[in-house]
Structure 1
Amino acid sequence: MSPPAMSQASVFQPSMLSPEASPQASPHHSPGSQRTYETGFLPAGWEVRSAPNGRPFFIDHITKTTTWEDPRLKIPVHIRKQSSIDPGDLGPLPPGWEERVHSDGRIFYIDHNTKTTQWEDPRLQNSAITGPAVPYSRDYKQKYDYFRKKLKKPADIPNRFEMKLRRNAVLEDSYRRILSVKRSDVLKARLWVEFEGEKGLDYGGVAREWFFLISKEMFNPYYGLFEYSATDNYTLQINPNSGLCNEDHLSYFKFIGRVAGMAVYHGKLLDAFFIRPFYKMMLQKSITLQDMESVDNEYFNSLKWILENDPTDLDLRFTIDEDLFGQTRQHALTPGGEDIIVTDRNKKEYIHLVMQWRFVNRILKQMTAFKEGFYELIPQDLIKIFDENELELLMCGLGDVDVNDWRENTKYKNGYSHNHPVILWFWKAVLLMDAEKRIRLLQFVTGTSRVPMNGFAELYGSNGPQLFTIELWSTPEKLPRAHTCFNRLDLPPYVSFEELREKLHIAIENTQGFDGVD
Structure 2
Amino acid sequence: MFAQTESHKNNFLEYTKAAREERALEKRREEAAILLQATLKGYAARSKYQKCIINDFDALFMGCHGGDEKDEKDTDLLPAVHAYPVLRRYLTQIKLDKNDGRTRDRLERICRYVNRAMEVDNPKLSYAALCLHKERSLPWIGHIKQLLTNCMQLLPELKPENHADSISLALFLHTLIVFTAPKSWAVLRNAQFERLQPAMQKICCNVQGHLVHHGFYKTMRIILLKGTAREELSVKPVTLVAIITLCLRPLIDGDFSRNLLSQFLSEILSVPALIYHLHQSVPQCIEQFSSMSLLKRALNISEDYQWFEEFSASMSGTKSLAYLGNIVNLFNIENLAEAKKLAYPLLTETTTSLLELIPNTVTTKGVFTQWHELLGWHTPCAEPAQNQNVALIKKQFHMLWDHRCIKLLLGDLLKEINENYERIEFHSPQQPSTSNLIRRALERSSTRGSGLLASAAGKQAKVQWRKLDNGNVVQVSRICGMYYAALNTLSQMKLDILTGICYNDNVLYDIWLLLTSLGPNCGMKEYLDLLRCETLVQKPQIAMLMLFCDCMTHYVTILDEYEMYTEQNPFRLNDYVMLTYFLNNILYKLINDNILGAKNIVQNPVFVSLHTLLLCLYRRDCRRPFTPPNHWLIPEVKPSTFINDLEKAKRNAMLLLAKMPHIIPHEDRVKLFRKFVQNEKAVMGLTESACASPRSALIVIHRERIVEDGYRQLVAQPTHALKGVIRVRFINQQGLHEAGIDQDGVFKEFLEETIKKVFDPSLNLFKTTSDQRLYPSPISYVQDNHLQLFEFVGRMLGKAVYEGIVVDVPFASFFLSQLLGQTQQALYSCMDELPSLDNELYRSLTFIKHYKQDVADLNLTFSVDQDVMGKIVTHELHPGGKARVVNDHNKLVYIHYMAYFHMNTQIREQTQAFNRGFRSIVNPEWLSLFSPPELQRLISGDTVPLDLKDLRKHTQYYGGFHDSHRVVGWLWDILAKDFTEDERKLFLKLFQTTIVGLCAP
Structure-to-structure mapping, 1:21-36, within 5 angstroms: none
Query: Pick from 684, 695, 699: which aligns with 1:155?
Result: 684
Please tell me whether residue 143 in structure 1 is matched to residue 669 in structure 2.
Answer: yes
**Residue identity in the other structure for 1:190:** V
Report what 1:212 is aligned to. 752
Return the alpha-carbon distance in structure 2 between the equivalents of residues 239 and 396 of structure 1: 21
Residues 163 and 194 of structure 1 are in contact (CA less than 8 Å); yes or no, is this contact kept in structure 2?
Answer: yes
Please tell me whether residue 269 in structure 1 is matched to residue 812 in structure 2.
Answer: no
Return the alpha-carbon distance in structure 2 between the equivalents of residues 442 and 170 of structure 1: 23
Note the C-alpha offset of 1:320: 1.4
Aligned CA distance change for structure 1 residues 408 and 281 (closer, same or farther; 3 Å)? closer
Return the alpha-carbon distance in structure 2 between the equivalents of residues 426 and 307 of structure 1: 53
Q: Deviations over 1:435-486 (max 9, x none)?
A: 4x5543322224899993325xxxxxxxxxxxxxxxxxxxxxxxxxxxxxxx
Note the C-alpha offset of 1:214: 0.8
Residues 317 and 337 of structure 1 are in contact (CA less than 8 Å); yes or no, is this contact kept in structure 2?
Answer: yes
> In structure 1, the residue corresponding to 2:746 is in which secondary structure?
helix
> In structure 1, the residue corresponding to 2:864 is in which secondary structure?
strand
Return the alpha-carbon distance in structure 2 between the equivalents of residues 207 and 178 of structure 1: 12
Residues 279 and 388 of structure 1 are in contact (CA less than 8 Å); yes or no, is this contact kept in structure 2?
Answer: yes
Return the alpha-carbon distance in structure 2 between the equivalents of residues 303 and 368 of structure 1: 27
Q: Deviations over 1:23-46 (max 9, x none)?
A: xxxxxxxxxxxxxxxxxxxxxxxx
Aligned CA distance change for structure 1 residues 449 and 370 (closer, same or farther; 3 Å)? farther
Residues 254 and 374 of structure 1 are in contact (CA less than 8 Å); yes or no, is this contact kept in structure 2?
Answer: yes
Note the C-alpha offset of 1:205: 7.7
Please tell me whether residue 368 in structure 1 is matched to residue 905 in structure 2.
Answer: no
**Residue identity in the other structure for 1:217:** K
Report what 2:864 is aligned to. 320
Return the alpha-carbon distance in structure 2 between the equivalents of residues 388 and 188 of structure 1: 24
Note the C-alpha offset of 1:179: 0.8
Return the alpha-carbon distance in structure 2 between the equivalents of residues 194 and 368 of structure 1: 31
Query: Pick from 223, 227, 235: which aligns with 2:763?
Result: 223
> In structure 1, the residue corresponding to 2:922 is in which secondary structure?
coil
Return the alpha-carbon distance in structure 2 between the equivalents of residues 312 and 203 of structure 1: 69
Structure-to-structure mapping, 1:428-507, within 5 angstroms: 428-431=977-980, 435=982, 437-446=983-992, 452-455=998-1001
Aligned CA distance change for structure 1 residues 374 and 174 (closer, same or farther; 3 Å)? same
Note the C-alpha offset of 1:345: 1.8
Report what 1:280 is aligned to. 817
Return the alpha-carbon distance in structure 1 between the equivalents of residues 972 and 916 of structure 2: 48
Note the C-alpha offset of 1:270: 2.8
Structure-to-structure mapping, 1:44-193, within 5 angstroms: 139-151=665-677, 152-153=680-681, 154-155=683-684, 158-181=694-717, 183-193=718-728
Query: Pick from 755, 772, 789: which aligns with 1:234?
Result: 772
> In structure 1, the residue corresponding to 2:978 is in which secondary structure?
helix
Aligned CA distance change for structure 1 residues 338 and 177 (closer, same or farther; 3 Å)? same
Note the C-alpha offset of 1:203: 4.9
Report what 1:62 is aligned to. none
Residues 407 and 427 of structure 1 are in contact (CA less than 8 Å); yes or no, is this contact kept in structure 2?
Answer: no
**Residue identity in the other structure for 1:184:** T
Report what 1:347 is aligned to. 891
> In structure 1, the residue corresponding to 2:822 is in which secondary structure?
coil
Note the C-alpha offset of 1:255: 0.7
Query: Pick from 427, 437, 444: which aligns with 2:976?
Result: 427
**Residue identity in the other structure for 2:979:** V
Return the alpha-carbon distance in structure 2 between the equivalents of residues 340 and 379 of structure 1: 43
Aligned CA distance change for structure 1 residues 144 and 439 (closer, same or farther; 3 Å)? closer
Return the alpha-carbon distance in structure 1 between the equivalents of residues 699 and 987 of structure 2: 26
Return the alpha-carbon distance in structure 1 between the equivalents of residues 769 and 994 of structure 2: 24
Return the alpha-carbon distance in structure 1 between the equivalents of residues 709 and 766 of structure 2: 20
Note the C-alpha offset of 1:146: 2.7
Residues 769 and 836 of structure 2 are in contact (CA less than 8 Å); yes or no, is this contact kept in structure 1?
Answer: no
Aligned CA distance change for structure 1 residues 373 and 409 (closer, same or farther; 3 Å)? closer
Aligned CA distance change for structure 1 residues 351 and 450 (closer, same or farther; 3 Å)? farther
Return the alpha-carbon distance in structure 2 between the equivalents of residues 174 and 270 of structure 1: 17
Residues 254 and 372 of structure 1 are in contact (CA less than 8 Å); yes or no, is this contact kept in structure 2?
Answer: yes
Query: Pick from 286, 292, 304: which aligns with 2:834?
Result: 292
Return the alpha-carbon distance in structure 2 between the equivalents of residues 425 and 255 of structure 1: 40
Report what 1:484 is aligned to. none
Residues 397 and 453 of structure 1 are in contact (CA less than 8 Å); yes or no, is this contact kept in structure 2?
Answer: yes
Q: Deviations over 1:290-318 (max 9, x none)?
A: 21223322221111222223433322221
Q: TM-score, normalised by structure 1?
A: 0.54
Return the alpha-carbon distance in structure 2 between the equivalents of residues 439 and 147 of structure 1: 24
Note the C-alpha offset of 1:276: 1.0
Note the C-alpha offset of 1:342: 1.9
For structure 2, the residue ranges without an aligned partner over 5 or more in a row are 1-629, 634-661, 687-693, 732-736, 824-828, 954-962
Return the alpha-carbon distance in structure 2 between the equivalents of residues 312 and 449 of structure 1: 60
Q: State the structure with more CA Rg.
A: 2
Residues 401 and 438 of structure 1 are in contact (CA less than 8 Å); yes or no, is this contact kept in structure 2?
Answer: no
Report what 2:945 is aligned to. 402
Report what 1:17 is aligned to. none
Q: Deviations over 1:44-85 (max 9, x none)?
A: xxxxxxxxxxxxxxxxxxxxxxxxxxxxxxxxxxxxxxxxxx
Report what 1:413 is aligned to. 964
**Residue identity in the other structure for 1:220:** D
Note the C-alpha offset of 1:252: 0.7
**Residue identity in the other structure for 1:254:** E
Report what 2:21 is aligned to. none
Report what 1:333 is aligned to. 877
Return the alpha-carbon distance in structure 1 between the equivalents of residues 887 and 744 of structure 2: 58
Note the C-alpha offset of 1:274: 1.1
Report what 1:492 is aligned to. none
Residues 184 and 376 of structure 1 are in contact (CA less than 8 Å); yes or no, is this contact kept in structure 2?
Answer: yes
Return the alpha-carbon distance in structure 2 between the equivalents of residues 417 and 193 of structure 1: 29
Task: Tell me which protein shows more strand as a share of its residues.
Answer: 1
Q: Deviations over 1:169-226 (max 9, x none)?
A: 1101110111121x21111112322212211223598222222101111111222211
Residues 755 and 793 of structure 2 are in contact (CA less than 8 Å); yes or no, is this contact kept in structure 1?
Answer: no
Residues 211 and 271 of structure 1 are in contact (CA less than 8 Å); yes or no, is this contact kept in structure 2?
Answer: no
Aligned CA distance change for structure 1 residues 423 and 248 (closer, same or farther; 3 Å)? closer
Task: Tell me which protein shows more helix as a share of its residues.
Answer: 2
Return the alpha-carbon distance in structure 2 between the equivalents of residues 319 and 449 of structure 1: 51
Equivalenced residue count is 311
Identity of aligned residues (%): 28
Query: Pick from 846, 850, 859: which aligns with 1:304?
Result: 846
**Residue identity in the other structure for 1:290:** D
Aligned CA distance change for structure 1 residues 202 and 169 (closer, same or farther; 3 Å)? farther
Structure number with the bigger relative contact order (C-alpha 8 A, sep ≥ 6) is 1
Residues 193 and 202 of structure 1 are in contact (CA less than 8 Å); yes or no, is this contact kept in structure 2?
Answer: no
For structure 1, the residue ranges without an aligned partner over 5 or more in a row are 1-134, 456-518
Return the alpha-carbon distance in structure 1 between the equivalents of residues 988 and 744 of structure 2: 15
